[in-house]
Amino acid sequence: MKPPGDGEGPVARAPQAPARWPRHVLAVAALWAVTLAAYSNSFRAGFLFDSTQIILQDARLRAATTQNVRLISTTEYWFPGLYRPLTTLTYLFNYTVLGDGAQPDGYHAINFALHAVNILLVYLLGLMVFEEASPAFGLAALWALHPVLTESVTNIVGRADLLAACGVLAGLLCHIRASTRSGWRKAAWLVGLLAACALGQFSKENAAMVVVAMLLYDLVFGTAAARAHNTWSARFAGYAVAASPVLVYWYCRSRVLAQFPHTPIAFLDNPLTGSDFWTARITATKVLGKYLWLWLWPGKLACDYSYNQVPLFDWRLHNWEAWKTVAAVAAWGAIVALAVRSYQRNKPLCFFIAFFLVMVAPTSNLVVLIGSIMAERFLYLPSIGFAGCAVIALHWACRKLTAAWPQARLAPPIALAAICAAMASRAYARNADWLDGDSLWTSAVRSAPASYKTHLNLAITALGNQPPNLDLAAHELETSLAITGVLPDDRQNEYPYLMAGMCYRIKGETLAPSPQSDSWYARSLEALEHAERIDRILAERGGRDQPLRGPQAPMTGTAAIYEQLGHTYLRIRQPSKAVAAFAHSRLLSPELHSFAGMAAAYTDMGDLHRAIVTLLEGLVAFPNQTGFAPQAARLYAQMDPQSCAARGGGSSLNRECPLVQGDLCAAGRNVIQLYTQAGRPQEAAAVRLRVVNGPGCAVE
């Protein structure tokens, strides 16, 4: 047996076909069994992180219809600027075909099945590179069980990474096999290559790196054979086949995304966008150093690394973060030098180092800046390179030990078993963090305490509990705002201030009436006014960066800020300001609560008739809501007990009354105008039909 990393490695051919395929089947089955044990508690995890928006709030997943398939194919992924139709189609398959709906178990089963397929592909890649089953098993085991992969496997929407990795690995293996075949066998492998590349590419953007992975393998292992047998010309067909779905994908992506305005990258998600070129790249290299450390010691894992968990490099500061940056740059410089030196002496080592660098490049922020400065899901495919280097290092150390102590022949399997057991235990513990929002964000705050978003999301989770944990929410929101508060408003996000304003008002309501409640209301108003300032800055910048199309384009802004402002103004007894806030909220996004809040503000002002018309506007806009009519009836009875507008002393609304009919017509005209101003012509047309066909109003 040739130890991994010695000599040239495989030379442009498939691995020597072993006569004992059952041995490989048993090896892969054992890997699957151990990995399933490590992930056995992941199937209980709910819809967390981005899964709620991507699956539960995507109307395209509600029915398996041609219309929804067309929408998935011609519209963005949930996040602006992304196009991943095949990934979304798999969620549609889960939601409707399998009938999983809002139950997470089936989604987790598909995710684990994809991870199991990728384990098999990594094992086969190990056979290609090492030409031996033992190191191939070690490669697959170290990769499959590493806890840093849990974000891609356990988080349901990590499926994009699973599918992309499957496409890249299968495509690379098909390319290697096709280069050593001819005739119909070569054609069959090329068809497999085409399917694999299409699978990966239409699932996630970084699967385009399959072409680079193919070139990397050929450059490292195929040079000698290429000179001897002219196999580069034979390999050209593989590159042409692999490039085809990549080109088709990017063409489709450009056509789809051209329909939507460009969304700038938020500074708080990726602070590199606010720095100069060299500061950004040096900091990105520090992130690569963090990835290396996470792989070596995955003690602290987090689902978010937003501002300011990874501080920007500043050469003027001689602190620990600056020294970590210097160490990361030096370490990766040495690793790249080792890869170059290993090209002739240790081709597997050269390949795995280069494989990591190639696969991490699209998300490294070294080439282009992306929407996140750091994420563990970015390591799913690149960490195969880490695992390969670890196997080589482990066998090298064991050879040295065996040379000095011949009785230590069992050292490699014992060491591998110990490492795998430790990683499986850590993966199992990490999967428990994904059980629910409380456990996920509590662990994230521990592991990434400087990230504003970990504290923000823990606060949101605390507010959503029954009953809400207001003290914890307030504390975490204050911590989040303390992290971002040092930044100018144009680099901040309005959402933490919005949530703080809402939390402080609710806290005040629990203490009312008292001077303490007034203090909380004042803090609520201060936070919401800050959110309003940020929102207006972002809306103005959005208006410049995203020219609105059409004569009646919708206004930009966050409606929830003005809705919450309205509620806070009501608490501090400023109903006229509350009316203005609710009116602006309705103009941005006519929602149910804004109509009710605006009516309450008019009631506090003593203008009962305008309060009634506002409630009737809500009834026209949301005809299925039963709360508006009884409220309007009570106000009619309060305004004029002798009126025909209310029956039973204000218990029900008399729609046959001329006064009510006139007010309904006025409300209908107001709602039509509101929807028109808000850039919602379809809703305006629907209300027009209801008003004409219902009360029979004259509508211009």
pLDDT in the model for residue 513: 81
CA-wise closest residue to 208 among 159, 168, 241: 168
Give the number of C-alpha atoms closer than 13 A to the C-alpha of residue 472, restricted to the C-beta side.
Answer: 17
Give the tokens for residue 663: 């007010």
355-to-219, 359, 386, 387, 389 alpha-carbon distances in Å = 12, 6, 9, 11, 10
Coil, helix or strand at residue 123: helix
Whether residue 225 is predicted with pLDDT greater than 70 in this model: the reply is: no
Percentage of residues of the chain with pLDDT beyond 90: 60
Exposure string for 241-279, b = 16+ CB within 10 A, e = fewer: bbeebbeebeebbeebbeeeeeeebbbbbbbbbbbeeeb
**pLDDT confidence of 700, banded at 50, 70, 90?**
low
CB 12 within 8 A of CB 222: yes
Task: Tell me the pLDDT tens digit for each residue of 257-307.
Answer: 888 877 788 899 999 999 999 999 999 999 999 999 999 999 999 999 999
pLDDT in the model for residue 317: 67
Tell me how far apart the alpha carbons of residues 203 and 191 are, in angstroms, rounded to a whole number.
18
pLDDT in the model for residue 16: 45
Whether residue 424 is predicted with pLDDT greater than 70 in this model: the reply is: yes
Tell me how far apart the alpha carbons of residues 212 and 351 are, in angstroms, rounded to a whole number.
12
Coil, helix or strand at residue 2: coil
Task: List residues bridging with 652 in a β-sheet.
Answer: 647
Tell me how far apart the alpha carbons of residues 211 and 216 are, in angstroms, rounded to a whole number.
9
pLDDT in the model for residue 36: 97
Q: Name the H helices within 79-158.
A: 85-92, 105-130, 133-145, 150-153
pLDDT in the model for residue 322: 80
Burial class (CB in 10 A: 0-12, 13-18, 19+), 105: exposed
Residue of higher predicted confidence among 231 and 272: 272
Q: Return mean pLDDT, the chain.
A: 88
Burial class (CB in 10 A: 0-12, 13-18, 19+), 539: middle
Whether residue 384 is predicted with pLDDT greater than 50 in this model: the reply is: yes
Give the number of C-alpha atoms closer than 13 A to the C-alpha of residue 310, restricted to the C-beta side.
Answer: 28
Neighbours of 1 (CB within 10 A): 8
Give the tokens for residue 645: 């507008």
Phi, psi (deg, nearest 5) at residue 644: -80, 0
Contacts by 20-27, CB closer than 8 A, 24 or more apart:
23/133, 24/123, 24/127, 24/133, 27/123, 27/133, 27/137
Task: Tell me the pLDDT tens digit for each residue of 573-595.
Answer: 999 999 999 999 988 888 878 89
pLDDT in the model for residue 442: 95
State the amino acid at position 660 in one-letter form. V
Q: For residues 621-628, give the mean pLDDT.
A: 85
Look at the block and give the residue holding tokens 């290609």: 128
pLDDT in the model for residue 251: 93
Tell me how far apart the alpha carbons of residues 140 and 121 are, in angstroms, rounded to a whole number.
9
Residue of higher predicted confidence among 536 and 381: 381
pLDDT in the model for residue 17: 45
Task: Tell me the pLDDT tens digit for each residue of 24-63.
Answer: 999 999 999 999 999 999 998 989 888 888 999 888 998 9
State the amino acid at position 210 in one-letter form. V
pTM: 0.90
H-helix or E-strand spanning residue 406? none
CB 262 within 8 A of CB 545: yes
C-alpha 43 chain-centroid distance: 19
Tell me how far apart the alpha carbons of residues 111 and 135 are, in angstroms, rounded to a whole number.
26
Whether residue 323 is predicted with pLDDT greater than 90 in this model: the reply is: no
CB 240 within 8 A of CB 233: no
Whether residue 4 is predicted with pLDDT greater than 80 in this model: the reply is: no
Tell me how far apart the alpha carbons of residues 485 and 492 are, in angstroms, rounded to a whole number.
8
Give the number of C-alpha atoms closer than 13 A to the C-alpha of residue 526, restricted to the C-beta side.
Answer: 9
Give the tokens for residue 162: 């699973």
Tell me how far apart the alpha carbons of residues 391 and 398 are, in angstroms, rounded to a whole number.
11
Tell me how far apart the alpha carbons of residues 381 and 103 are, in angstroms, rounded to a whole number.
28
Give the number of C-alpha atoms closer than 13 A to the C-alpha of residue 230, restricted to the C-beta side.
Answer: 1
Whether residue 314 is predicted with pLDDT greater than 50 in this model: the reply is: yes
Q: For residues 488-496, give the mean pLDDT.
A: 91
CA-wise closest residue to 146 among 430, 363, 359: 430
Task: Tell me the pLDDT tens digit for each residue of 169-198.
Answer: 999 999 999 888 888 889 999 999 999 999
Q: For residues 439-450, give the mean pLDDT.
A: 95
**pLDDT confidence of 204, banded at 50, 70, 90?**
very high
pLDDT in the model for residue 227: 44
Task: Tell me the pLDDT tens digit for each residue of 236-255.
Answer: 888 999 999 999 999 999 99
Tell me how far apart the alpha carbons of residues 264 and 251 are, in angstroms, rounded to a whole number.
21
pLDDT in the model for residue 395: 86
126-to-139, 389, 391 alpha-carbon distances in Å = 6, 12, 10
Task: Tell me the pLDDT tens digit for each residue of 134-172.
Answer: 999 999 999 999 999 999 999 999 999 999 999 999 999
**pLDDT confidence of 682, banded at 50, 70, 90?**
confident
Neighbours of 191 (CB within 10 A): 13
Whether residue 10 is predicted with pLDDT greater than 60 in this model: the reply is: no
Burial class (CB in 10 A: 0-12, 13-18, 19+), 229: middle
Residue 621: partners with Cβ closer than 8 Å, 6 or more residues away = 590, 595, 671, 674, 675, 683, 687
415-to-151, 412, 422 alpha-carbon distances in Å = 26, 5, 11
Neighbours of 652 (CB within 10 A): 13
Task: Tell me the pLDDT tens digit for each residue of 493-537.
Answer: 999 999 999 999 999 999 878 888 999 999 999 999 999 999 988
Percentage of residues of the chain with pLDDT beyond 70: 91
Residue of higher predicted confidence among 611 and 647: 611
**Vertex 358: Cα angle to 228 and 417 (nearest 5):** 95
Q: Is the peptide bond before 264 cis (omega within 30 degrees of 0)?
A: no
CB 537 within 8 A of CB 581: no
pLDDT in the model for residue 650: 66
Q: For residues 354-373, give the mean pLDDT.
A: 94
Phi, psi (deg, nearest 5) at residue 653: -90, 130
Residue 192: partners with Cβ closer than 8 Å, 6 or more residues away = 170, 174
Q: For residues 61-75, give the mean pLDDT.
A: 91
- In the CATH hierarchy, which top-level class contains the domain 451-546+553-589? mainly alpha
CATH 1.25.40.10 in the chain is located at: 451-546+553-589
**pLDDT confidence of 6, banded at 50, 70, 90?**
low
